[in-house]
Structure 1
Amino acid sequence: MLVNLSIKNFAVVKQLTVNLEEGLTAITGETGAGKSIAIDALSLCLGERADAASVRKGASKAEIVAHFSLRNQTAAVNWLEEHALVDDDDASCFIRRVISREGRSKAFINGSPVSLQQLKAFGQYLIAIHGQNTHLQLLKDDYQRKLVDQYAQHSQLEADVRNTYQLWKEKQHELKTLQEKAEQRADRHQLLSYQVEELNEFALAEDEFVELEKEHRRLSHGQTLLEQAQTSFYHLYESDEGNALSIIQSGLDKLSELEAHDSALTPIIALLNEASIQVEEAASELRAYCDGLEIDPLRLQQVESRYSKAMELARKHAVTPEALYEHHQQLVSEFKTLANDENRLEALSEAVVEAKQCYMAACKKLSKSRQIAAAKLGTAIEDQIRQMNMPHAVVDLQVTMRDDKPPTPHGLDDVTFKVSTNPGQEADKLEKVVSGGELSRIGLAIQVLTQSQHGIPTMIFDEVDTGISGPTAAIVGALLRKLGMNSQVLCVTHLPQVAAQAHNQLFVTKYSDANSTETQMLALTRQDRIDELARLLAGDKVTESALANAKELLESAESN
């Protein structure tokens, strides 16, 4: 609930601090005194946009601080915890809004800066403000649907409709995308069919081109390789005029004879021994190489043909020959994917039908629940407003599911609020039947009936009793008092019958001099309340009779 409101340099308020109590608090005052100033200030604390006109003339900034008790307000505390805005005392919360003379605005929750979106999101757990035009929402079909849903408390059914709707739309979009690209896929499929068939026929293996390249070089230079290898073998091992191996061995023999005279020759002899072994092994490898080297013109022709074909296909597909195998596999994969897309089209078409059926089934369940809730809510509203000087009122809340209606995330229902206020009058839509006062009564009745559903601790009514008077005003006041038994209710009113029903009363007054105007809000004692009620009853000239009537009015309200 709202514990305290502090306003500084806002509009005509220079400095104002108000402590609020539980129950119903009536806010009264002369016309033009600024009774709605506190509501305007609270609206800013709930995220409404501000401008430089909000700042009192001559001040550099306006500042509004609202202190809330969060006792038993689990949703509000959870929101603060989720956004890391919990104060040391998690049972209370402070909202501060500052507006500069230039129109710039800053907002804080428990001292931490927040955005207007965060203020609005948090404010929905704290206060519900019902202005003079709020009940006009009752005329909107969308609001009537929300009203029935709120009363029914079938959030899971609503979620099922939203989820099945979303799934249906996703499947439809996926199917449409596939269908729109069908012609492109057909052209691509035809091209890939030819390309893949050609590459399949060539059937280049992984890393085969690298081996082809090596073999091509070897075969095309086979004669030269054989001649040079044989010459090298001759000089290393076979030449009678002096081959490399015999020369090394001759030097090794001579040095070995001298080793006994100089040990420095030992490592040299070791190196020559190793050289002799290496030369002999190299000669052996060369002999094997020459024996295994074949000059095969037919094989060369085959390799050249495949090598040239690989080069040709690589140029054709604009890839390097080394990447031709990988490119082939990618084309095969894409070709299979395109073939699968055709199967997906059929599967998706079936999925769309299935998703629609799920959506329709969810809509039917939601519609049935709405019909049951609408009947109960209509009866409850009817009973309530008949006690508000509308004894012949008939309320008919109709819920009709229309299969021909464009699908929405909220289902396929048309919710129509019909009322008859006079005997013999056929029930019709609200805007065609009820007056402004009757609409206010219906709206107030709904607030009483749905109080337990919305769970908002503080409700503010800004002259919602406009257009009613006399006995009806007393009934409205009693209803507001009933609301105040379970929630904190603030009501700006000009009706004594409503003000008398309040548990607490604030009086708004305005002081003016030649240079400025200032608004104050005062908590009234019991005698002050009697005097104010008398003023509301009699006008500016308060008589003894008016005072007596005011006292009687207050005592009557207190005794109920």
Structure 2
Amino acid sequence: MLTHLSLKHFAVVSQAELVFGPGLTVISGETGAGKSLLVDALGLLSGIRADSGVVRHGAERAELAGEFRLDDVPAATAWLKEHELDEDDASSGSGCLVRRVIRADGGSRAWINGRPVTMAQLAELTAHLVEIHGQHEHQALMARGSQLALLDAYAATAPERRQVAEAAVQWSALLRERDELVAQGDVSDRIEWLEHQYLELERETLDADSIAQLLLDHRRQAHASDLIAASESAFAQLGGSDDVSVSRALQQVRHELQRVASHEPRLSEVDGMLAAAAIQIDEAGSLLDRIRDDLDIDPSLFESIEQRLARIHDLARKHRVAPEELAAHRDALEQELDALRGADRRLEKLDSEIEKTRLAWRTAADALGAKRRKAAGKLAQATTALIGELGMGGGHFGIDIEPLPADKPDPNGGERIEFMVAANPGQPPRPLRKVASGGELSRISLAIEVAALGLDAVPTMVFDEVDSGIGGAVADIVGRKLRALGASRQVLCVTHLPQVAAQGHAHYRVSKAAADGVTQSQVQQLDADQRQEELSRMLGGVELTREARAAAQRLLDDVT
């Protein structure tokens, strides 16, 4: 639901702040005062194309902002989350702020919850929030998708639509799989080539640990003589029988310190350190001795290791991967081989699976279509009756249902629909999107929405000049229908008729005045007394008579 609308330097409006609540809000004003500018502002916030003409004369840019409560719009909440445009701050509540700036040079930018977005993204989001009825370029019910959504809401087809969509997804996936397999053509040559590549790799031990150990063995054999010489020399220096060995030197140092340690207690601490060092040196010597025993110069072993390393490097170059990646490459070849070997068998199974899912989709689509056709008759009858009540006697509303080819998995079902209207007696029905009169279009839209009991998923509906070309009793009916619609949806209506304005739960008046030679419009929310005055003006013109005020009060008193 729209809760707040802010305008700044927009057309003839210098600045305006409007607060909206549930129910029916009416907007009135003198001709040319700019009351339809509020509808235009919502249209621009819905992503329609803008030009520099909407920027107030003398200003650099026009700024528009709308705040929406999303408690009852799960589709909008899901869209925001999907596009990572939802509010991170939980204290902000379930709300959304959309903003748009149009510069005097014609440029335009948009934001959702403070983050810049494209006009397409703005339009996608606001399609879940606002529906504008009246002008052709704003008319949501013009689109067949919106018409289908309204019919489905009226028919309560959510379970059937879900079954159709699920069957369509399964059918589409199987069709894609079959197309991919067929596109492969004869794969026997590919299988033969893959088998040769795979067996060549399979003959080698290619896991990372084995290759690392092979490289270590190669380095050990390549430097075996140096390793042996270094080990023997180190062993001799650490613990050999020579008087200059490290072990013997430590023993001599400890003996000399022990003779005088009684005179300096700290020397005992030094002796302890040297004793620990002697243990470490003995252990190091033992390890050197074992290493030396393990080392052996073996030319045949070295040659074998080099040959194996050469084969691994040749395979890596051939397959254009690093040696440590050969095992993963071998596994990938094996997977592809398994898939290709089973392709023929899979194709045979696919045909039966595709037929099974097609029948499942067809069954679900038939059930959905039957429910739509039954509801379409009821909605058409109810809307036709309402069109007559709204001053279009003899008019007729119908819903054409056209079957679609059953060879493709359409998630929306097996038919497409078109709202058809004959506005006057004797006229052939025409698509709603081709109805020429803006006033007729608004009243037909109102009749459809009222007949559908406000089941449209969009929470805010805007009717621009819905009462164009009517008056008297028909105007009273239009007002009552709008108020009835306001019981289930937020409704904003621009009107010039007092019978319609009196039905509003809230009332805004747009007025204009000249200041410093520049025309400006102001928007004011009316209290009870001001509403009576505004209705009196709408009834009686410039001069407000006692009779006009009394008539205005009667209109307000008649509201139920």
- TM superposition score normalised by structure 1: 0.65
Counterpart residue number, 2:444: 442
Offset from partner CA, 1:353-390 (integer Å, 9 cap, x none): 22222221221121122122223322322343343345
Change (3 A) 1:503 1:422: same
Change (3 A) 1:417 1:39: closer
Offset from partner CA, 1:230-281 (integer Å, 9 cap, x none): xxxxxxxxxxxxxxxxxxxxxxxxxxxxxxxxxxxxxxxxxxxxxxxxxxxx
Indicate whether 1:6 and 2:12 are aligned. no
In the alignment, is the contact (CA less than 8 A) between 2:150 and 2:455 conserved in 1? no
Counterpart residue number, 2:109: 105
In the alignment, is the contact (CA less than 8 A) between 2:73 and 2:129 conserved in 1? no
2:415 to 413, 416, 420: 413
- State the alpha-carbon separation in 2 of the partners of residues 359 and 62 from structure 1: 50
Change (3 A) 1:336 1:29: closer
Letter in 1 for 2:514: S
Change (3 A) 1:87 1:10: farther
Offset from partner CA, 1:423-467 (integer Å, 9 cap, x none): 888877668999765544332111113344235443221113334
Letter in 1 for 2:547: A
Change (3 A) 1:431 1:335: closer
Change (3 A) 1:529 1:504: farther
Q: Which stretches in structure 2 are left out of the alignment for 5+ residues?
A: 211-306
Change (3 A) 1:356 1:550: farther
Indicate whether 1:188 and 2:190 are aligned. yes
Q: Which has the larger radius of gyration?
A: 1
In the alignment, is the contact (CA less than 8 A) between 2:532 and 2:553 conserved in 1? no
The Cα shift of 1:486 comes to: 4.3
2:537 to 495, 511, 531: 531
Change (3 A) 1:359 1:553: same
Counterpart residue number, 1:374: 376
Change (3 A) 1:152 1:116: farther
Change (3 A) 1:133 1:465: farther
Secondary structure of the equivalent of 2:523?
A: strand
Counterpart residue number, 2:278: none
Counterpart residue number, 1:27: 27
Map 1:322-401 → 2, pairs under 5 A: 336-390=338-392, 392=394, 395-399=397-401, 401=403
- State the alpha-carbon separation in 1 of the partners of residues 201 and 13 from structure 2: 86
Which stretch of structure 1 is more off in the superposition, 163-172 or 503-512? Answer: 503-512
- State the alpha-carbon separation in 2 of the partners of residues 439 and 446 from structure 1: 11
Change (3 A) 1:502 1:550: farther
- State the alpha-carbon separation in 2 of the partners of residues 11 and 363 from structure 1: 49
Change (3 A) 1:190 1:64: closer
- State the alpha-carbon separation in 2 of the partners of residues 199 and 19 from structure 1: 73
Map 1:41-440 → 2, pairs under 5 A: 41-48=41-48, 50=50, 52-68=52-68, 70=69, 73=72, 75=74, 83-85=86-88, 88=91, 90=93, 95-101=98-104, 103-107=107-111, 109=113, 112-116=114-118, 119-120=122-123, 123-124=126-127, 126-133=129-136, 141-183=144-186, 185-189=187-191, 336-390=338-392, 392=394, 395-399=397-401, 401-403=403-405, 407-418=409-420, 438-440=440-442
In the alignment, is the contact (CA less than 8 A) between 1:419 and 1:428 conserved in 2? yes
In the alignment, is the contact (CA less than 8 A) between 1:55 and 1:62 conserved in 2? yes
Q: Percent identity?
A: 34
Secondary structure of the equivalent of 1:83?
A: coil
In the alignment, is the contact (CA less than 8 A) between 1:406 and 1:412 conserved in 2? no
- State the alpha-carbon separation in 2 of the partners of residues 19 and 198 from structure 1: 76
Map 1:456-535 → 2, pairs under 5 A: 456-512=458-514, 515-522=517-524, 523=526, 524-535=530-541
In the alignment, is the contact (CA less than 8 A) between 1:26 and 1:493 conserved in 2? yes
Letter in 2 for 1:171: L
Secondary structure of the equivalent of 2:131?
A: strand
Secondary structure of the equivalent of 2:32?
A: coil
Secondary structure of the equivalent of 1:410?
A: coil
Offset from partner CA, 1:154-174 (integer Å, 9 cap, x none): 223223222322322222122
Letter in 1 for 2:43: S
Letter in 2 for 1:409: P
The Cα shift of 1:348 comes to: 2.0
Change (3 A) 1:395 1:194: same
Counterpart residue number, 1:299: none
Letter in 2 for 1:369: K
The Cα shift of 1:530 comes to: 0.6
Offset from partner CA, 1:313-371 (integer Å, 9 cap, x none): x9999969x99x98999877765543211211212222222222222122112112212
The Cα shift of 1:60 comes to: 3.5
Secondary structure of the equivalent of 1:459?
A: strand
Count of residue pairs brought into register by the alignment: 465
Change (3 A) 1:556 1:464: closer
Counterpart residue number, 2:557: 558
- State the alpha-carbon separation in 2 of the partners of residues 328 and 484 from structure 1: 68
Secondary structure of the equivalent of 1:35?
A: coil
Secondary structure of the equivalent of 1:454?
A: coil
Q: Which stretches in structure 1 are left out of the alignment for 5+ residues?
A: 208-307
